[in-house]
Each structure stands twice: as structure tokens, then as C-alpha cells.
């Protein structure tokens, strides 16, 4: 097993060579990587079968499903890498340019960060997604997969490195950490001077550990207490579809809805229909019903569970929805400002003034008008793949796109200016 320190050194050493590669050659390399992923499909599937066999009985069936690859999933991974290659390069963009009175010419130009490290868990496709986004933005990738996915990740990284060699790029542009114990995650968090950006992708425990322990620059991802506000001027059919989708399409993810706010003028018409849709219809279809935790006014209309003091501050990640009736869009905004985790918030309304108040009033990464919060995702935003969703305000907010994987440099040219 290679030491983590050795891998970090080889990654850092690859930075200058990778930074000198023109954008077109990076794109050609990504196409070679996609080809190698498909060419090595059988090898990757065999490694994945080993991972699955070792994991079965030890992790939950939903985790096994996340871990398992198929030929179709590998084709999807290759397609993801090709879609990243097709995006415009985030490098070399002139972000600001000025001529100063003293004759200095100043340009602010986007450049790669250097080494981007990603700690993730059991989904093998994160390996190629993260590597593709890092490469496209001129960064060396250091990948640290969960131990249950190691053999799959190893086979995928071997394919990626083969693609890089074919394209004439340094293969150390993509690196897999071989130590899958907790020690290596901690080593990455403390690797000052070796890692320019660390992205933790995983559960609350991993994120908290990064916030507490990381001394390298780190982007906080994750927690989403997402709200949908159904306005007095909402199309109630649309509102039903959006709340149903935001709550039930995949309750375990961070962009799922946790809290419903309903304008008092819509509540009497909307809430009974919502109850029918989320409970009665689902029971009739043999699906898990949604538990509605209602404030006093909502409870008076549809019953359910009386909401407790923590229900408006909990990321349930389950078939549970907190419901509150509000008097105005301003009250909805104030509630969200007090309880939001700054992830995704939605308003359903046909009133442009209410939409404007909501858009400007809530403080979050993504604010939706007449659409589900579930769209907060790199792929859905057109970023090619998903790298993580930032809930902080500095540097990156929402799905990490290619610009967020770059920094910039001021290039100042003169003819002897002194101050």
C-alpha cells in the first residue's frame, strides 16, 4: 500500500505540468478517459463484484445499491466525462481588466487551484465525476473513496490514468488514496501545503469532522432544511405536484423538502388535498405515507401530528413534513430566514410581486419559483457532473460548478513603474 504522504507528494509534483496543459488537450484527455472507462468495463465490473460481495450483509441494501455498477452505469459515467469535456473551459477567463493612470495594465485571470481532494463514500461513479471536473479545471485530483468501494474506485482510477497516458498527460493528475482507514481522511484534512481545496461528500459525520478538524481550505457541503412556500396566488395543482415531488421523490437527499409553509388564504383549499395526496393516495398505492407535523392552524384543518418545538429545525431525510400556516409572504420569508440552512427554498405563486419578495428575501444557495427544490444538483444545473453542494457563502454556493474549481491571478504588466 502506498502511503498517503507519498501520494500527496506525487500529486503536488504533478501540479506545474498539468497547469501548463492547454484547455483543448485537457478536453482530448477527457475523451480518452471516457473511452478507457468503456474499454475496461469488464475489469471495472469484476472489481465492483468483489466490492459488492465483501459488503453484502455488512451494509444496508440501499448502500449496496449505491455501490453496485452495471455496464449501463459505466456507460453513464463515460457519458458524464464526455459531457464535461464538451463544456467551456473555466481557465484563462479574464474576470476584470483595467488600465491604470500610471500605465499599468491589470488583468484578473482564472487559473486552476492546484490540488483538489475529494473524500466520498460508496458510489463508484463519484470517482470519474470528480476526476473529470477536477481535470477540466486544470486541477490534480486526490480521491479518497470509502473502503467498501475501494476495488471499484481503484479499477476506475486505473482506467482514468490509462486515458491520461494516451493523451500525453501526467498520470499523477488523478490519484487514489490507498489507505481506507479513518487515518487517511484525517491526514487529508491536515495536509497543509499539499491540498488547495478539500471537498467532503458524505454524511453529516464526515462534514462535521471536516469543519472541526480540517486545516486545509474546505467547502462545507450538505445539510438542507429546504422549504416550499405555497402562496395565496399559487396554482394549487402545481403546488401539489411540487410539494409531492420535493418531499417524496427521494427523501434521503439534501435537496428534499422538509418544511411546508402555506398562506392562510390557500390553506383551507390546499391542505386537505395535500393530505389526500401524501397520505391517502400513497397508502392506496402501497407506498410509505408522509407523516405531517402540523402547527396549530394546519392541525385544525387536517389533523396529523402536532408539530413539536424542533420540527421546524430538523433535516428529517425521511417521509416526514413539517407544516405551518403563515399570514403573508413576508412571514414566510421571516420564518425561512430564522430556520434555513441556506440550501434551497421554493415559492409557488402566480404573483410576480410575491415571487420578487421571496427571491430577494430568502438567503440561500438556490431559490425556486414554481419548481421543485430537487433540482439543486450539478447535473441539473448544466455543470456536467455533480461535485458537491456548498451551503456556505464564501467561494462557492450551491452545486459546485467549474468556476468554483478555479481561483484567479492578477497579471500586471508595466514598463518600469515604481510606487
Interacting residue ranges for its own copies, rule: CB under 8 A: 16, 19-20, 95-96, 98, 100, 104, 106, 113-114, 196-197, 217, 219, 235, 238, 241-242, 244-246, 249, 337, 355, 359-361, 363-372, 374-376, 380-382, 392-395, 397-398, 401, 403, 407-419
In the complex, least distance from residue 169 CB atom to its own copies, rounded to whole angstroms: 17
In the complex with its own copies, which residue's Cβ is closer, 31 or 359? 359
CA distances from 152 to 46, 49, 70, 145, 161 (A): 8, 8, 12, 9, 14
User: Least distance to its own copies from the beta carbon of 416, Å?
Assistant: 4
CB nearer to its own copies: give 46 or 412.
412
d(CA 134, CA 410): 22
- Find the shortest distance in angstroms from Cβ 98 to its own copies: 5
Instruction: Name which of 193 and 286 has its Cβ closer to its own copies.
Output: 193
Q: Of the two residues 301 and 396, which places its CB atom closer to its own copies in the complex?
A: 396
Strand partners, 140: 115
Q: Which is nearer to its own copies, 147 or 339 (CB)?
A: 339
Give me the least distance between CB of 394 and its own copies, in Å please. 4
How far apart are alpha carbons 22 and 17 in whole angstroms? 11
- In whole angstroms, how close is the CB of 342 to its own copies at the nearest point? 10
Strand, helix or coil for residue 71: helix
Q: How far is the CB of 395 from its own copies (least distance, A)?
A: 4
- Residue 224's contacts (CB-CB under 8 Å, 6 or more residues apart) are 253, 254, 255, 256, 258, 315, 341, 343, 344, 373, 376, 389, 391
**How far is residue 153's CA from residue 274's CA, in Å, rounded to a whole number?**
43
Residue 305 or 314 having the CB closest to its own copies: 314
In contact, 175 and 140? CB cutoff 8 Å = yes
CB of 80 vs its own copies, minimal distance in Å = 16
Q: What is the dihedral of CA 211, 215, 217, 222, to 10 degrees?
A: -10
DSSP assignment of 247-277 equals HHS-TTSTTSEEEEEEEHHHHHHHHHHHHII
Judged by beta carbon, residue 56 or residue 97, the one nearer its own copies is 97
Tell me the sheet residues that pair with 110.
Answer: 408
Asked if residue 231 lies in contact with residue 266, where contact means CB atoms within 8 angstroms, the answer is: yes
Amino acid at each position: 500500500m502506498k502511503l498517503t504522504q507519498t501520494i500527496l507528494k506525487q500529486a503536488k509534483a504533478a501540479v506545474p505540468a498539468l497547469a501548463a496543459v492547454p484547455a483543448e488537450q485537457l478536453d482530448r484527455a477527457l475523451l480518452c478517459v471516457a473511452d478507457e472507462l468503456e474499454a475496461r468495463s469488464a475489469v471495472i465490473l469484476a472489481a465492483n463484484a468483489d466490492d459488492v460481495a465483501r459488503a453484502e450483509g455488512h451494509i444496508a441494501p440501499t448502500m449496496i445499491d449505491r455501490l453496485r455498477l452495471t455496464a449501463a452505469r459505466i456507460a453513464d459515467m463515460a457519458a458524464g466525462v464526455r459531457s464535461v469535456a464538451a463544456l467551456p473551459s473555466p481557465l484563462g477567463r479574464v474576470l476584470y481588466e483595467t488600465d491604470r493612470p500610471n500605465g499599468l495594465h491589470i488583468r484578473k485571470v482564472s487559473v486552476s487551484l492546484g490540488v483538489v481532494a475529494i473524500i466520498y463514500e460508496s458510489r463508484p461513479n463519484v470517482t470519474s465525476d470528480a476526476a473529470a471536473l477536477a481535470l477540466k479545471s486544470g486541477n490534480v485530483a486526490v480521491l479518497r473513496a470509502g473502503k467498501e468501494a475501494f476495488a471499484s474506485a481503484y479499477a476506475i482510477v486505473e482506467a482514468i490514468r490509462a486515458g491520461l497516458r494516451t493523451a500525453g498527460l501526467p498520470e499523477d493528475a488523478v490519484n487514489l488514496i490507498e489507505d481506507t482507514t479513518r487515518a487517511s481522511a484525517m491526514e487529508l484534512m491536515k495536509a497543509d501545503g499539499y491540498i488547495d481545496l478539500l471537498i467532503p461528500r458524505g454524511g453529516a459525520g464526515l462534514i462535521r469532522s471536516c469543519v472541526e478538524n480540517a486545516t486545509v481550505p474546505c467547502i462545507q457541503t450538505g445539510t438542507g432544511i429546504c422549504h416550499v412556500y405555497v402562496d395565496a396566488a399559487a396554482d394549487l395543482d402545481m403546488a401539489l405536484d411540487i410539494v409531492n415531488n420535493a418531499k417524496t421523490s427521494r427523501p434521503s437527499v439534501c435537496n428534499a423538502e422538509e418544511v411546508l409553509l402555506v398562506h392562510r388564504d390557500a390553506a383551507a383549499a390546499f391542505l386537505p388535498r395535500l393530505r389526500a395526496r401524501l397520505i391517502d393516495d400513497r397508502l392506496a398505492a402501497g407506498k410509505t405515507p408522509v407523516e405531517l407535523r402540523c402547527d396549530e392552524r394546519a392541525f385544525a384543518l387536517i389533523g396529523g401530528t402536532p408539530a413539536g418545538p424542533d420540527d421546524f429545525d430538523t433535516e428529517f431525510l425521511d417521509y416526514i413534513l413539517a407544516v405551518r400556516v403563515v399570514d403573508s409572504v413576508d412571514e414566510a420569508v421571516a420564518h425561512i430566514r430564522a430556520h434555513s440552512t441556506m440550501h434551497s427554498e421554493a415559492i409557488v405563486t402566480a404573483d410576480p410581486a410575491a415571487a420578487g419578495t421571496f427571491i430577494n428575501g430568502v438567503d440561500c444557495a438556490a431559490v425556486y419559483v414554481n419548481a421543485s427544490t430537487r433540482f439543486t444538483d450539478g447535473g441539473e444545473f448544466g455543470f456536467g457532473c455533480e461535485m458537491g453542494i456548498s451551503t456556505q457563502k464564501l467561494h462557492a454556493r450551491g452545486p459546485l460548478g467549474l468556476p468554483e474549481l478555479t481561483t484567479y491571478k492578477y497579471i500586471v504588466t508595466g514598463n518600469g513603474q515604481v510606487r
